[in-house]
Amino acid sequence: MEEKDYNFSWEQLGDIEEGRPNLGNKTSVAVYRLMQYTMRAVLEKEYGDEQTRLMLVQAGRLAGREFCRNVLDTSLPLNKFIAQLHDSLLDLEIGVLKVEKSDVENLNFIVTVSEDLDCSGLPIKGVTVCDYDEGFIEGIFSVYTGKKFDVKEVDCWTTGERTCRFAIHQIS
């Protein structure tokens, strides 16, 4: 996947401490989901389900790349990098990352994210909904390794699972 140049920089997130001295950097999951799912509804109406899914993956990929570049230490060995990613996702209350399977030689992984910010507690729909998360994980792994990845959500709260499960495969 070619890395496109989007008009985004980490600085656009602003100085949250200065801007929100009383409220800080926390908000409710419901408010986050209100933004995400209303935006998704508008995009689906305007562009259709598949194009919306692709746009959410692209946005997640951009976010994952920037998150990796600005929050994570890419000089760490893989096991320490994954531990740092786990801790960062936990500290930011995004979710609880766990590696279920790891093929380090081929850079293929199965990871779960429990208590996922995007979907934990949503009604069962029979389809996965964490398109943004697919891109986010892909962006992180791509920046860390310098390689291309395909990330697919294979289980989701909305498919009846109690955790989101992602298959991560290096693209040769």
The answer to whether residue 1 scores a pLDDT higher than 60 is no
Measured CA to CA, the distance from residue 37 to residue 43 in angstroms comes to 10
Q: pTM of the full predicted structure? A: 0.94
Q: What is the pLDDT of residues 91-103, one digit of tens each?
A: 999 999 999 999 9
CB 135 within 8 A of CB 142: no
Which domains are delineated in the chain? 15-170 (3.30.1380.20)
Residue 2's pLDDT is 60
Q: What is the pLDDT of residues 42-91, one digit of tens each?
A: 999 999 999 999 999 999 999 999 999 999 999 999 999 999 999 999 99
Residue 50's pLDDT is 97
